[in-house]
Every structure is written in C-alpha cells, then in structure tokens.
C-alpha cells in the first residue's frame, strides 16, 4: 500500500514519476553525523572532493553530448571550485576547529562565499551562490545523502522550491511538482503553470514522507499523492490518464478557433511567458494570439551579471518575431520591465534584507533609480519592436509621476538609439500593470496618459485584501471574486475604455473561465494566462452571449460575499 498524502491541486493532470527532493535542509543530518578521528575526517573530506569532482565530470560530458552547453558550463565552474586548492585548505582549517568533515566543508564554503559577497563588483558577488551550492553538494555526499540521478520523469518535491530548480531541469523530465507551502502563486508554481505541469501545493510536512527516488503518482486535480503505489493502485489511474489524453485531443481542436462569444464579441487570449521558448509553445500548441506578459526578470535570472542590451534584444526579438507569426488576432508582445524585489533577489541587484519585500524596493522603483539597468532594457525592447508588435509595460506603478518618469526614460532610450544609429520602432505602446489599489483607484486619471492597462490580479488581490498569498493559514481569504477586488477591476477596465485605451488582465484570475464571463461583460479586450489554460477559457467564451454575460455580471455586482460569488459562478450552467 502506498503512503497517501493530500494537498491542494492547483494545476490539473496526472503525473507519474520518481520523487526528486529540492531544497533539502541539512541541519538534521549534521546533528546525527558521528565524526571519526581528525585524520580520518581529513582524509574523508579530501576523498569526497575527488569523488564529487569525478562524478561531475561525467555529468559535464553528458550535458555536452546532449548540447546542453549552459548546464555544462555551470557544472564546469562548480567543478573548478571543488578542485580549488583554496577550498581544500579552508576545509582543513575548519576541520581543526570543528572535527566534522561535512560541517567543515559547509563552513569553508560559507567563509569563501562571504568573501565574494563582500566584494564591490556585482559579478563577483554573484559567485557566492555557486560556492555555497558546491559546499552543499560535497556535504551531502559526506552525509550519505545521494544526489538523485534523473532517470525517466521526476516529480519535484520540496517545502519550498526555488524557481531556478524547476527552470534548471529539462521540461520533458518534470512530470509533476509538489510544494509544501500553501501558495498557488509561488514562483515555482507559476513556472509549472506555463509548462502545464500537474502540481499539488500545501502538503506541509507530507514532504517528510518522501525520499529521493520514491515512485509516486500525483493528481493535480484532486490534490492526491500516492508515494510508492502498488501495481493495483497504479492501474487505478489508467482510466484518468486516458481521459486526460481525450481532453487534450478536444482542446487541440479549439486551437485555431477564435475566442468569440455566440454573438460575435471577441477577446484576445494570449500567453504569459518567461522566455521566447514559451511563446513558441503557447502559439503552436495552445493557440495563443500573442503574449500579454513577458516576465522579463526571467531573462535577468540565472545570470551572474546584468544582461546587456544586446543579449536582451535577442531574447525580446525572438518573442516579438514569434508573436508576429500568429494567423489570427493582434500578435502583440507585451514585455514587462523587470519586476524584481526582495522575493526574487539577484546577485547584481542587492535589495538587502527588508521587513516587507512586497511593500519594498522593487520593480519600477528600482528601475527608476537604476538607469544602468533600465535604459538597456528599454532600448532592447524598442529595437525588438522593429520585428513585429511590441509593447512596454511597467510594473507596480502607484501614481502618475512614476509613469511619466518611466515614459521619459523611454524617450531617452529612443534618443540614444537614434544617436547610435540603431534601428528601433517608434510606435511601441507604453502601458502599466494595474496591480496596486492606488493604480486601480487612480485608473480614470492614469488612463489619460497610458496606452493600455493590464490588471495584475495576483498582487492586486493581495494588496487590496491585505492577504499574503504565500501564507497557508489565511489563504482562504485570498479570492479574486472578493467584491472589493471586482469593483477595482471594473473601474480599471471602464476607465480605459472611456479614454479609448484598452484593458487586459495578466494575473491568475485571467485563467479562470468563470472570471472570464465577468471580465467580458466589464469590457476587457485581452486575457493573458499560462498557455495551457487558454483552451479552457476559450471553451467558456465560445458558449456564452454578451447579454447573458452582462446579466451574470449585474447579478454578481449585487452580491456581497466573495465566496458566494465563486460558488454562484461555479454552479452556473451556461
């Protein structure tokens, strides 16, 4: 019999694979570790360095053979750190102090990492992460924690999972994701969503029942997880897997059809993406008619240095060109300028410890202070605009002045490009994300200045309701149908339309088919979501009329309770 664990299913689908634990805490292992004599520990540490470096050589060759150059380069840098005489020297010193090989390795790595972290140059600072990573890898080996080999498909599990863990694994290797934390909007989940990876969150300590390499089945619809299932239990899922395939086939037939209501009102269904590759899949596999949110920070992440204008230009150009290939719809590519802050720290953007990163120094607030980051990004987008239709979107705006300052930077970017003799597009739309209550309240004024609004519901809901989206204890309060939220959204959309601008939505809510009915009636022009959700939303829109949607909206706006609104919409047979 399998161990059964129940969580909250957030991305539906059945996944079969082996468990790969991410973000392990080594403290428990370290306490239980019984060190031998000092000489023996020293030899053990030295041997571990050799063994781990050797095993990495194999992986490096492997990656190189498969053409995965970036992964190979990262590992190669790690291998050099392991073989470094400075590291082995530091380990010996630390061993004299503490006597435990794994602890000495971690301490030595930490000491070296801190040297790098203290450096002025941002690029050097970034290496600290690598050094810590290497220390952990060797310590794990010494503690007898096996680095799981990826054979076949894996289900990545962890109390918290760093976005880079999922981003770093080849897409076709990840069958599912299990997250201990309760958040449905954690960045790991957001990445999983773009790739339609079945995901269960909020399993809490359930993670402790899993070991690396355990076979497992996960149902992203019901939130059920089976660890070490019997053959019989596995067979029980065959029917569900078959249904899943059938649904996929039906959705495929919707791909080339427009998102039009029965009476002909059309909404653009576009994709949220993190890289040009995602745009490719979104358009080809799910029928997206453009990109409503290119999260440019993923272009910044995984890099040790500020990405240069030229590098960014290549990424944006690829996405813009991809969007220009759509046969139906606008083919617009909306690129959001970097939205980085305390929750997604980067080696070259030191935000520092903040009490409230979500209310802190982040996004447009950083961009406006850091011309060295902002200007190259704007120039890269303006240049990419030459290859199709691009739009620039600023995140976290709370007042008119921020928009005007950012817009002035766009003009400066244009002047610089002109004087450098580089080609750029002069009709790139410039708009904002409406994700703060301030922006939504000021929407009638902001609408006079911007070209468009895109409502970012993840933050708008959390700021409006004062509910931390990652806190499992209060996640029941997080509801995009809350009447306060609905009123802000309605106000934003109507303000845009009144000024002859357009409003879209790029938050979680846009992928909720029931929400689509309301938004349609409010006058939304574009819904941007993780691509795999497009067919579901399209199916809903194609089954309804504008007048029916208006009727439902009128009724909902009279209701006083968010949970009741959600239940009412869920029970509707349209």
Shortest Å distance, C-beta 111 to other proteins: 10
User: Among residues 132 and 159, whose Cβ is nearest to other proteins?
Assistant: 132
How many helices (H) and strands (E) in the chain? 24, 16
Report how many residues bind other proteins under the rule CB under 8 A. Answer: 20
Asked if 87 touches other proteins (CB under 8 A), the answer is yes
User: Among residues 90 and 509, whose Cβ is nearest to other proteins?
Assistant: 90
The Cα–Cα gap between 300 and 507 comes to 21
Asked if 71 touches other proteins (CB under 8 A), the answer is no
Please tell me whether residue 426 adopts helix, strand or coil conformation: coil
Q: Of these, 38, 40, 50, 119, which contacts other proteins (CB under 8 A)?
A: 119
User: Among residues 50 and 86, whose Cβ is nearest to other proteins?
Assistant: 86
Q: Which residue is catalytic, options 78, 323, 480, 506? A: 506
Asked if 85 touches other proteins (CB under 8 A), the answer is yes
Question: With 0-12 CB in 10 A as exposed, 13-18 as middle and 19+ as buried, what is 89?
Answer: exposed
Asked if 81 touches other proteins (CB under 8 A), the answer is yes
Asked if 53 touches other proteins (CB under 8 A), the answer is no
| 217 phi and psi angles, rounded to 5 deg | -125, 140
CA of residue 227 relative to chain centroid, distance: 26
Which position has the token pair 């809350």?
482
CA distances from 328 to 267, 268, 269 (A): 12, 9, 11
Give the strand pairing for 3-6 and 224-227: antiparallel
- Per the DSSP assignment, residues forming a β-bridge with 158 are 179
Asked if 120 touches other proteins (CB under 8 A), the answer is yes
Asked if 534 touches other proteins (CB under 8 A), the answer is no
Query: Is 506 part of the annotated catalytic residue set?
Result: yes
Piece of 124-132, 344-352, 406-414, 485-493 that binds other proteins (CB under 8 A): 124-132
* Half-sphere exposure at residue 105, Cβ-oriented, CA atoms within 13 angstroms: 28
Piece of 119-127, 158-166, 331-339, 491-499 that binds other proteins (CB under 8 A): 119-127
User: Among residues 127 and 389, whose Cβ is nearest to other proteins?
Assistant: 127
The Cα–Cα gap between 42 and 49 comes to 11
Asked if 311 touches other proteins (CB under 8 A), the answer is no
C-beta of residue 348 within 8 angstroms of C-beta of residue 125: yes
Shortest Å distance, C-beta 521 to other proteins: 53
Asked if 40 touches other proteins (CB under 8 A), the answer is no
User: Among residues 189 and 346, whose Cβ is nearest to other proteins?
Assistant: 346
C-beta of residue 544 within 8 angstroms of C-beta of residue 518: no
Q: Of these, 2, 30, 84, 222, which contacts other proteins (CB under 8 A)?
A: 84
Shortest Å distance, C-beta 81 to other proteins: 6
Q: Which of residues 355-414 bind other proteins (CB under 8 A)?
A: none
Q: Which of residues 125-164 bind other proteins (CB under 8 A)?
A: 127, 131
Site string for other proteins, 245-284 (x = CB under 8 A): ----------------------------------------
Q: Of these, 77, 324, 467, 557, which contacts other proteins (CB under 8 A)?
A: 77
Piece of 120-128, 355-363, 364-372, 508-516 that binds other proteins (CB under 8 A): 120-128
Piece of 115-123, 152-160, 254-262, 507-515 that binds other proteins (CB under 8 A): 115-123
Which of 244-253's residues contact partners 24+ apart within 8 Å by CB, and which partners?
244/13, 244/14, 251/286, 251/535, 251/536, 251/539
Q: Of these, 305, 330, 405, 494, which contacts other proteins (CB under 8 A)?
A: 305
C-beta of residue 160 within 8 angstroms of C-beta of residue 180: yes
C-beta of residue 443 within 8 angstroms of C-beta of residue 492: yes
Q: Of these, 38, 50, 86, 252, which contacts other proteins (CB under 8 A)?
A: 86
The Cα–Cα gap between 347 and 528 comes to 30
User: Among residues 135 and 329, whose Cβ is nearest to other proteins?
Assistant: 135
Q: Dig out the tokens for 551 from the structure.
A: 């009727």
Question: With 0-12 CB in 10 A as exposed, 13-18 as middle and 19+ as buried, what is 34?
Answer: exposed
CA distances from 331 to 49, 221, 267, 453, 570 (A): 52, 32, 13, 17, 32
Piece of 73-81, 170-178, 381-389, 564-572 that binds other proteins (CB under 8 A): 73-81
User: Among residues 62 and 310, whose Cβ is nearest to other proteins?
Assistant: 310
User: Among residues 88 and 212, whose Cβ is nearest to other proteins?
Assistant: 88
- Per the DSSP assignment, residues forming a β-bridge with 271 are 291, 529
The Cα–Cα gap between 450 and 504 comes to 13
261 secondary structure, DSSP code: -
The Cα–Cα gap between 196 and 191 comes to 9
Q: Of these, 80, 167, 441, 477, which contacts other proteins (CB under 8 A)?
A: 80
Beta strand extents in 70-203 (DSSP E only): 154-158, 174-179, 199-201
Q: Which residue is catalytic, options 78, 98, 187, 328? A: 187
Catalytic annotation, residues: 187, 506
Binding site for other proteins (CB under 8 A): 76-77, 80-81, 84-87, 112, 115-116, 119-121, 123-124, 127, 131, 304-305
């Amino acid at each position: 019999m399998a161990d059964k664990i129940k969580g909250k299913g957030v991305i539906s689908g059945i996944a079969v694979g082996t468990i790969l634990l991410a973000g392990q805490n080594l403290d428990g292992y370290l306490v239980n570790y019984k060190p031998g004599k000092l000489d023996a520990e020293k030899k053990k540490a030295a041997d571990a360095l050799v063994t781990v470096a050797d095993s990495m050589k194999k992986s490096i060759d492997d990656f190189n053979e498969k053409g995965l150059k970036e992964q190979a380069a990262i590992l190669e840098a790690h291998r050099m750190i392991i073989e470094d005489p400075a590291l082995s020297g530091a380990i010996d010193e630390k061993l004299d102090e503490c006597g435990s090989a794994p602890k000495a390795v971690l301490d030595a790595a930490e000491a070296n990492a801190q040297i790098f972290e203290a450096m002025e140059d941002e690029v050097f600072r970034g290496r600290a992460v690598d050094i810590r990573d290497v220390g952990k890898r060797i310590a794990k080996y010494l503690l007898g924690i096996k680095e799981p080999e990826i054979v076949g498909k894996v289900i990545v599990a962890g109390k918290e999972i760093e976005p880079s863990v999922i981003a770093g694994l080849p897409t076709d290797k990840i069958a599912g994701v299990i997250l201990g934390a309760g958040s449905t909007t954690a960045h790991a989940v957001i990445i999983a969503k773009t790739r339609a990876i079945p995901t269960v969150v909020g399993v809490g300590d359930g993670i402790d029942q899993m070991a690396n390499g355990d076979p497992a089945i996960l149902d992203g619809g019901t939130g059920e997880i089976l660890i070490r299932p019997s053959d019989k239990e596995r067979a029980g899922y065959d029917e569900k897997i078959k249904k899943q395939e059938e649904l996929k086939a039906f959705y495929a037939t919707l791909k080339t059809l427009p998102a039009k209501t029965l009476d002909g009102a059309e909404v653009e269904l576009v994709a949220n993406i993190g890289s040009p590759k995602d745009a490719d899949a979104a358009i080809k596999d799910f029928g997206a008619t453009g990109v409503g949110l290119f999260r440019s920070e993923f272009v910044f992440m995984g890099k040790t240095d500020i990405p240069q204008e030229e590098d960014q230009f290549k990424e944006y150009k690829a996405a813009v060109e991809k969007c220009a290939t759509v046969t139906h719809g606008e083919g617009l590519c909306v690129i959001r300028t970097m939205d980085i802050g305390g929750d997604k720290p980067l080696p070259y953007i030191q935000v520092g410890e903040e009490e409230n990163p979500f209310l802190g120094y982040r996004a447009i607030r950083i961009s406006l202070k850091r011309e060295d980051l902002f200007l190259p990004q704007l120039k890269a987008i303006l240049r990419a605009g030459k290859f199709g239709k691009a739009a620039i979107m600023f995140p976290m705006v709370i007042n008119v002045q921020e928009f005007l300052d950012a817009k002035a930077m766009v003009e400066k970017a244009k002047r610089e490009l002109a004087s450098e003799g580089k080609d750029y597009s002069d009709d790139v739309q410039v708009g904002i994300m409406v994700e703060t209550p301030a922006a939504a309240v000021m929407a009638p004024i902001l609408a006079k200045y911007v070209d468009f609004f895109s409502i970012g519901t993840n933050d708008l809901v959390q700021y409006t309701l004062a509910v931390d989206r990652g806190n499992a204890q209060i996640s029941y309060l997080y509801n995009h149908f809350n009447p306060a939220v609905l009123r802000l959204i309605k106000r934003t959309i109507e303000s845009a339309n009144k000024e002859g601008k357009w409003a879209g939505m790029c938050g979680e809510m846009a992928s909720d088919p029931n929400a689509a009915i309301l938004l349609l009636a409010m006058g939304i022009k574009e819904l941007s979501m993780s691509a795999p959700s497009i067919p579901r939303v399209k199916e809903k829109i194609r089954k309804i009329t504008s007048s029916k949607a208006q009727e439902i909206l009128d009724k909902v706006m009279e209701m006083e309770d968010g949970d009741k609104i959600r239940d009412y919409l869920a029970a509707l047979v349209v």
